[in-house]
Chain A
Amino acid sequence: MTLPTPYVSRIDRRTTLAWLGGAAAALAGGAAAVPARSEAAVVTHAVANGYGTDPKLTHPAPAPWPRLLTKAQLQTAALLCDFILPASADAPSATALGVPDFIDEWISAPYPDQVRDRPVILAGLTWIEDEAQRRYRSDLFHAAPADRTALLTALTQKPTDAALAKPHMFLWRFRALVIGAYYTTKPGFKDVGYHGNVALASYPGPSDAVKAHLDRELKKLGL
C-alpha cells in the first residue's frame, strides 16, 4: 500500500522565532517555555497576542501567535487539504502551497472570528481520526487510499444521518478556509483567472471577447 507523502510544515525559522517571541510575551511572568509545535494538544493559548494596530505593511512579519495544532492534527489537516484541492495538471496542490500551516495559523489566532472557528476545526479533525479508527482501526494517514476517500467523500454529501451533521458543517467551513487560502496565492490567482496586480500605462477596459460574451448574455435578458 502506498502511503501519502507526510506533510512537512513549511514554516521557516523566522516564523518559529516569532511564535517563540509571542509565546514568551504571552507568558511573561515566569512560566516555562512553550515548544513551537507540541506532540500533544496545547492549551496555553488564551493570552496570545495579535499583531497589533500598527504592523509593518510593506514587509509583514509572520503572525506572532504560537500554533496550536499538534503534529498529528496537522497531518490530518494536510490530508483534508489535498482531498479538497489536490494538484491538477496546471496547478499545485493545497499542501504544496502550505495551506495546512495557514489553517493552523488561522485557528490559533487570538481574534474573535478565528477563536470561533477553533473548536469547530479541532472537533472536526478529532472526529475524522476517531471515525478512521472506528471504521478501519487505523489513523487516516495509514488507511487504505480507497477507505480514506470513502470516509471524506461521505462527509461532502448532505447528511441523512444526524450524527454526520456536525462533521458535514465542519467540512464546509474547513473547505471555505482552504479555498480562501489557496486562491489568495500567486498560483491560486493563475488558476482562478485573476489577471490584475500589474502596473499598466492605461486601463484598456474589457476586451472584444468579453464584450461579445456580455452582449450575448444581455440579449438573452432582453437588454
Chain B
Amino acid sequence: MTEPYDVIIVGSGAGGGMSAYTLTKAGLKVLMLEAGRNYDPITETPMFNIPSEAPLRGNSTPDKPFGFYDATIDGGWEVPNEPYTIAEGSEPFMWWRPRMLGGRTNHWGRISLRFGPLDFKPRSRDGLGQDWPITYDELAPWYDKVERLIGVTGRAQGLLNTPDSPEGCLQPPPTPRAYEQFVTRGFNGLGIPVAAMHAAVLTQPLNGRAACFYATGCGRGCSIKANFQSTTVLLPPAMATGNLEIRANALVYQVDLDRAGKAKGVTFVDRVTGEHHSVTARSVVLAAGACESARILLNSKSAAFPDGLCNTHGMVGRYLMDSVGASASGQFPALENLPPTNDDGISLGHIYVPWWGYEKQAKKELPFPRGYHIEMGGGRSMPSMSLGGMLSFAGGDMTVGSALRDDARRIYGSYIGFAGRGEMIPNEDCYTDLDPVVKDKWGIPVLRFHWKWSEHETGQAAHMVKTFLEVIDRLGGKPTPGYQTDGKRAISRGGEIIHEVGTVRMGHSPEDSVVNAYGQSWAVSNLFVTDGAVLVSSPDKNPTLSILALAWRSADHLATLAKRGDL
C-alpha cells in the first residue's frame, strides 16, 4: 500500500482492533501503528504449562507483575524507558501498559457486561456526573453485533439496568463450579441475586474458532482462539481483506495537521531503532488506550492548538476514571474435604453478582450513589505458591509430614475471594496532563497523573467489604486477616483495576467534550478516538465490551463519511 493511507489507526487493542476490522471490511486502506512488538498467540501462548516449569514457580515479579505466564509483554505497571509521574499531593495512580500487538486484550479478564440504560444518563438519574450524548437503545444494536462476533456467554436474567441480550447473541454459560453453587446460596440467603457470567470465552465453536477446552488460564492468551483477543478475533480477518498493514514498535506521539487544519498523518518513534518517522493518511484514529491517546493529543501542539490538539477548552486529559475496587476472602469449613473435582472451567468466574441496590439508591437508602458488582474466585484451581500462605493462615500449629499433607488436602479449594468493581463518578481532581520536566527515552513529554477518590467511592468500597463479610459469615466462613472495613483503606489505588477511561470524552458540544457521539473530534473532523478515552461515565460494568461496541459504531460512521467524501 502507498501513502497516503485512507486511515491510520494508532493502537491495536479493543478500540484499534475493532476499528481496523470495520474499516478494512469497508474497503478502506489502513495502516495500524502499534507501540509494542509483534505478537502471535498461536505460537507464543503457554498452554498447559505448569508452575514448576517456570522460574520461581511462575510467581509474580516486577518483570511479570501478573505472574510469569501472563500474556503481557514488555509492560506492567512500569514500561522500560517510558516513565510517568504522579503530581505532588495526588493520591497514588498506577498505569498498566503492555507493549505488544493486541495490547491488553491479550491478558484481560474477559468479563463482558453491557452498560445499562441508567448508565448512559447518570446526571439525569441522580444529578452527579455527566449524561452521554447517546442512549442505551442507540448502542444496543452494536452490543448485539459485538457479542455475535467475539462470542460472549450469558443468559437473560431480567435484572434492573443489567441488559438482557436478544435471542441468539449469547453463548450458553458454563455450569457453575461447586464453590459457585455454594456461594450462590449464601448470596440468595441475603436476598442478593446471582447471575451467569458474561465472559468473552466460547462455549461453542464460532467462525472457525474452537470452543474452550476448559484448561489454561485466559490471562495467558489462548492459542486455540477460544477467548477474545484482538490478535485472534479482529486482526486476522482484517488482514485477510488485504487492506491492512501493521507496523510494530511504532510509538506515536503526535498527530500532524495540514494547512487547512485537518489531520494529515502522525509522527512516531521506532522503539527499536530510535528513528522518527511521519506517515500520512486521509484520516486518523487514536486508540492507544485512554491515557496514551490523551498524551498524543497533548503533545500535538501547533499555533492553532498551543495547549495540545483538540484542547482549546482544556478538556483533554480531564475526567479520568477507573473502577472502584475492594476485596476480601474467606476460608469455608463447609468446603473442606470436598471430593476432588476439576474446577478449571473457563478460568474466570462462571457467575457474578450484578448490582442489586438500584431501588434502594433511588430512595436514598444507601450512603453512596452508585453501584458495584461482585466477582469471585476460588475452588480447586491450579496450585500456586500462594498455597503455602493459605496453610500458614489456616493452621494454628505448624504441621509437618503426613499431618501437613492432610491439612493441604483439607484446606485446598476451601477459600473464596470476593472482589467488588464499582462505578466512579468523574471529578475535577482526577485528570492527566503533561509533566513539565520529565521526558521519555526519546525526549517526548510524559503524562503526569492527578488523583483523588471522593466519598462516593470510598463509601462504596466500605459497603463492598461489609457485604463480603456478611456473605462469608452467612456461609460459616472465616475472613482472611488483612481485610479493611474503612473505605479509605479498602479502596484500590487509582488505575489499579486497569479500567482507566475518560480523558477524551464524548459529549453534546465542544464546550463539554472533546469528541462527538461518534468519537469524531469537534476540532478536527478527520480525527477520531475509539478507545476508552471517549467514555463519559465508568459504570461498574467492565469497559471492554462497551469500547468494542462504541469503536464499531464510530468506525462504521467514519467509513460512511469517508465514502461520501465528508471528512
Residues of A within 8 A of B (CB): 50-55, 57-58, 60, 62-63, 83-86, 88, 91, 102, 105-106, 109, 111-114, 156-157, 171-172, 175-181, 183-186, 188-189, 191-207, 209-211, 213-214, 217-218, 220-223
Hey, which chain B residues are within 8 Å of A202, CB to CB? 214
Interface code B362-404, partner A: CB below 8 Å = 1, 0 otherwise?
0000000000000000001111111111011000011111101
- Kindly state whether residue B341 has any CB partner on chain A within 8 Å: yes
Query: Are A195 and B340 neighbours in the complex by a CB distance under 8 Å?
Result: yes
Query: Are A223 and B408 neighbours in the complex by a CB distance under 8 Å?
Result: no
Query: Are A111 and B62 neighbours in the complex by a CB distance under 8 Å?
Result: yes
Interface code B47-67, partner A: CB below 8 Å = 1, 0 otherwise?
111111111111101111000
Contact partner of B334 (CB less than 8 A), chosen from A171, A186, A201, A220, is A220
With the chains together, A153 CA to B454 CA distance in Å?
52
With the chains together, A178 CA to B401 CA distance in Å?
12
Query: Are A63 and B56 neighbours in the complex by a CB distance under 8 Å?
Result: yes
Contact partner of B178 (CB less than 8 A), chosen from A55, A201, A206, is A206
Query: Are B215 and A200 neighbours in the complex by a CB distance under 8 Å?
Result: yes
Distance to closest chain A CB from B406 (angstroms):
10
- Kindly state whether residue B289 has any CB partner on chain A within 8 Å: no
With the chains together, A221 CA to B472 CA distance in Å?
12
Query: Are B381 and A196 neighbours in the complex by a CB distance under 8 Å?
Result: yes
Query: Are B398 and A171 neighbours in the complex by a CB distance under 8 Å?
Result: yes
- Kindly state whether residue B133 has any CB partner on chain A within 8 Å: no
Residues of B within 8 A of A (CB): 37, 43-59, 61-64, 68-69, 73-76, 80, 174-178, 181-182, 185-186, 188-189, 203, 212-216, 220, 334-335, 338-346, 380-389, 391-392, 397-402, 404-405, 408-409, 412-413, 474-476
Query: Are B412 and A196 neighbours in the complex by a CB distance under 8 Å?
Result: no
Hey, which chain A residues are within 8 Å of B380, CB to CB? 193-196
Query: Are B341 and A218 neighbours in the complex by a CB distance under 8 Å?
Result: no
- Main secondary structure, interface of A, reads loop
Distance to closest chain B CB from A181 (angstroms):
6
Contact partner of B405 (CB less than 8 A), chosen from A53, A85, A177, A180, is A85
Query: Are B383 and A184 neighbours in the complex by a CB distance under 8 Å?
Result: yes
Query: Are B45 and A57 neighbours in the complex by a CB distance under 8 Å?
Result: yes
With the chains together, A191 CA to B405 CA distance in Å?
8
Known: A172-B392, A197-B216, A220-B334. A88 touches B340 (CB 8 A): no
With the chains together, A81 CA to B383 CA distance in Å?
19
Query: Are A91 and B405 neighbours in the complex by a CB distance under 8 Å?
Result: yes
Distance to closest chain B CB from A183 (angstroms):
4
Kindly report which residue of chain A lies nearest to residue B381, judged by CB atoms: A196
Hey, which chain A residues are within 8 Å of B402, CB to CB? 88
Known: A111-B61, A191-B405. A57 touches B49 (CB 8 A): yes
Beyond A53-B64, A220-B334, 16 additional contacts (C-beta under 8 Å) are A50-B63, A55-B68, A57-B45, A57-B46, A57-B49, A60-B55, A172-B392, A177-B388, A192-B412, A197-B48, A200-B215, A203-B203, A204-B175, A205-B174, A206-B181, A214-B334
Distance to closest chain A CB from B336 (angstroms):
9
With the chains together, A189 CA to B48 CA distance in Å?
13
Hey, which chain B residues are within 8 Å of A191, CB to CB? 405, 408-409
Query: Are B51 and A214 neighbours in the complex by a CB distance under 8 Å?
Result: no
The 4 closest A-B pairs by CB, nearest first: A176-B388, A205-B175, A193-B340, A180-B385
Hey, which chain B residues are within 8 Å of A217, CB to CB? 182, 334-335
With the chains together, A206 CA to B341 CA distance in Å?
7
Contact partner of B474 (CB less than 8 A), chosen from A171, A172, A221, is A221
With the chains together, A108 CA to B345 CA distance in Å?
36
- Main secondary structure, interface of B, reads loop
Contact partner of A57 (CB less than 8 A), chosen from B220, B388, B476, is B220
Query: Are A109 and B176 neighbours in the complex by a CB distance under 8 Å?
Result: no
Query: Are A114 and B50 neighbours in the complex by a CB distance under 8 Å?
Result: no
Query: Are B339 and A209 neighbours in the complex by a CB distance under 8 Å?
Result: yes
Hey, which chain A residues are within 8 Å of B339, CB to CB? 207, 209-210, 213
Query: Are B73 and A53 neighbours in the complex by a CB distance under 8 Å?
Result: yes
Contact partner of A192 (CB less than 8 A), chosen from B48, B53, B385, B408, is B408
Contact partner of A106 (CB less than 8 A), chosen from B56, B335, B409, is B56
Hey, which chain A residues are within 8 Å of B334, CB to CB? 214, 217-218, 220-221
Hey, which chain B residues are within 8 Å of A88, CB to CB? 402, 405
Kindly report which residue of chain A lies nearest to residue B62, judged by CB atoms: A111
Distance to closest chain B CB from A119 (angstroms):
18
Kindly report which residue of chain B lies nearest to residue A97, judged by CB atoms: B52
Distance to closest chain B CB from A44 (angstroms):
20
With the chains together, A222 CA to B185 CA distance in Å?
10
Hey, which chain B residues are within 8 Å of A178, CB to CB? 388
Query: Are B63 and A198 neighbours in the complex by a CB distance under 8 Å?
Result: no
With the chains together, A55 CA to B215 CA distance in Å?
22
Hey, which chain B residues are within 8 Å of A214, CB to CB? 178, 181-182, 334, 338
Contact partner of A221 (CB less than 8 A), chosen from B48, B398, B409, B476, is B476
Query: Are B177 and A205 neighbours in the complex by a CB distance under 8 Å?
Result: yes
Query: Among B216, B344, B346, which residue has the most Cβ atoms of chain A within 10 A?
Result: B344
Kindly report which residue of chain B lies nearest to residue A171, judged by CB atoms: B398
With the chains together, A205 CA to B184 CA distance in Å?
15
Query: Are A199 and B213 neighbours in the complex by a CB distance under 8 Å?
Result: yes
Hey, which chain B residues are within 8 Å of A218, CB to CB? 182, 185, 334
Contact partner of B55 (CB less than 8 A), chosen from A105, A179, A209, is A105
Query: Are A175 and B392 neighbours in the complex by a CB distance under 8 Å?
Result: yes
Hey, which chain B residues are within 8 Å of A112, CB to CB? 62
Hey, which chain A residues are within 8 Å of B53, CB to CB? 60
Query: Are B387 and A183 neighbours in the complex by a CB distance under 8 Å?
Result: yes
Known: A176-B392, A179-B387. A102 touches B346 (CB 8 A): no
Hey, which chain B residues are within 8 Å of A194, CB to CB? 340, 380-383, 412
Name 30 A/B residue pairs within 8 A (Cβ), A-sorted: A50-B63, A53-B63, A53-B74, A55-B63, A57-B69, A57-B220, A58-B46, A83-B400, A88-B402, A111-B61, A172-B398, A175-B398, A180-B384, A180-B385, A183-B383, A184-B383, A184-B384, A186-B52, A191-B408, A193-B380, A194-B382, A197-B50, A197-B215, A205-B175, A207-B341, A209-B339, A210-B339, A213-B339, A214-B181, A217-B334
Hey, which chain B residues are within 8 Å of A210, CB to CB? 178, 338-339, 341
With the chains together, A46 CA to B214 CA distance in Å?
42
Known: A58-B43, A191-B405. A50 touches B61 (CB 8 A): yes
Query: Are A175 and B75 neighbours in the complex by a CB distance under 8 Å?
Result: no
Hey, which chain B residues are within 8 Å of A184, CB to CB? 50-52, 57-58, 383-385, 387
Distance to closest chain A CB from B286 (angstroms):
25
Query: Are B387 and A53 neighbours in the complex by a CB distance under 8 Å?
Result: no
Hey, which chain A residues are within 8 Å of B343, CB to CB? 196
Query: Are A203 and B346 neighbours in the complex by a CB distance under 8 Å?
Result: yes
With the chains together, A85 CA to B400 CA distance in Å?
6
